[in-house]
Structure 1
């Protein structure tokens, strides 16, 4: 239906995040766990081993973009909106999709990355001891995909010795340039996403545009206070707060030398929270897509997507990419690394500090 209204990109986004990517994730997960079960009795050949590496990478790459739970919440919001216009009867597929969503979310929560890698390709030991070293020493590097510690990874073309994935070397300036570019792009699209209509409602031949805030106000006047609050938080509050939080993290990333370890951990928690909540802003996009598909009675009553839908989807995607590409190692200050290394090199000082911590507690 979205493709008929010249919104092919939005239709592809909906198809990918709700149907294609979950199907790929579930299929790959079944293959990996079935292979892990058989691996107890049979050794993997080189070809199968290479395939397993690719499947593990694909599984963890797809995971952040699964939005079946977000789509379910969008369905519930859409049903409440339509209920004010017509009588709604839920079919068996709705309850089946609810069960499906719960099972998918549970499966994602149970997938253990470390366990899967250890079943097929155990971590390779390294000869040198890096006790007390950090990423600032550049003497070793941890893989972001399989968490294998790689020795002496200084060249930009190095790949992980375990999964062959490209290693992400610590480069503060290059990483900040990338994440700032993505965040600024999201900020640019945030303006048309809120100023332009999210959808058009045609009633008895007259067309009425509706922005995100107008939709929230309409739901509030209709008495759907929880739904209006959900839409406001997910579509207005979360994107804005996430962009502000990411901008604050990017700006303060250059000032880590004066931070304590406690402040660094606090900033890391804020970063993890912004990374987690970003995907829920897609609720309004799914609501528009469902309403467009269900409410099509020509001039009597019809809903069409507005120009803000694609802009808002761009905001969500670019903020998610900005958060995912941000190197969280920048949040840890040099002073903490130096103190940690100094304490490890001086066992007496480490024991003294431990006693002070116990006495403080």
Structure 2
């Protein structure tokens, strides 16, 4: 009935560092400028993921703002919380959490894809020019770190199940 943290105590520190790195890059990726928008070669504006969601909401594009908020904010946070839950949960609860974490891993780059599609759809040639900024790179790094984190936990979950099998 032990958790994976109890079963593999030496790996907990490394996973905690990885989890913290994923959380910090996610937070930075959401608040730091993700894209620089130049309109008519005169007006410059930088948008973070969060300020972009706010701008979409204010412009009346609330369905798009909700979709981006779900896939770019709520979903990545949920992945990190579920991964921590799976690592520290007792064995019987891991059976419930493991499919959720495995399912989240399959959708792991969707949040970055959503932001990339929005950026690409805003391209307007001469009228609008978009340049990626540090926030989008940190956001993508967070997704990759979270994917690595969930893969490692999944691997050790599988190892724990295999070791139990007679």
Of 84, 104, 129, the residue aligned with 1:274 is: 104
Of 216, 220, 223, the residue aligned with 2:60 is: 223
Q: Secondary structure at the match of 1:278?
A: coil
CA distance in 2 between counterparts of 1:224 and 1:331 reads 47
Judging by fraction of residues, say which structure has more helix.
Answer: 2
CA RMSD of aligned residues (A): 2.8
Aligned residues: 156
Structure 2 unaligned blocks of 5 or more: 1-6
Q: 2:29, 2:136 within 8 Å by CA — same for their partners in 1?
A: yes
Q: What's the CA shift for 1:216?
A: 1.5
Q: What's the CA shift for 1:288?
A: 5.8
Q: 2:79, 2:101 within 8 Å by CA — same for their partners in 1?
A: no
Cα deviations across residues 133-179 of structure 1 (Å, max 9, x unaligned)? xxxxxxxxxxxxxxxxxxxxxxxxxxxxxxxxxxxxxx723443443
- What is the match of residue 187 of structure 1? 23
CA distance in 1 between counterparts of 2:115 and 2:58 reads 21
- What is the match of residue 286 of structure 1? 116
Q: What's the CA shift for 1:193?
A: 0.5
Cα deviations across residues 38-86 of structure 1 (Å, max 9, x unaligned)? xxxxxxxxxxxxxxxxxxxxxxxxxxxxxxxxxxxxxxxxxxxxxxxxx
Q: 1:246, 1:274 within 8 Å by CA — same for their partners in 2?
A: no
Q: What's the CA shift for 1:265?
A: 1.6
Structure 1 unaligned blocks of 5 or more: 1-170, 342-361
Say whether residues 1:328 and 2:162 are aligned partners.
Answer: no
CA distance in 1 between counterparts of 2:119 and 2:43 reads 21
Q: How does 1:250-329 map to 2 (within 5 A)?
A: 250-252=87-89, 256=90, 259=91, 261=92, 263-287=93-117, 290-291=120-121, 294-297=123-126, 300-326=127-153, 327-329=156-158
CA distance in 1 between counterparts of 2:128 and 2:64 reads 22
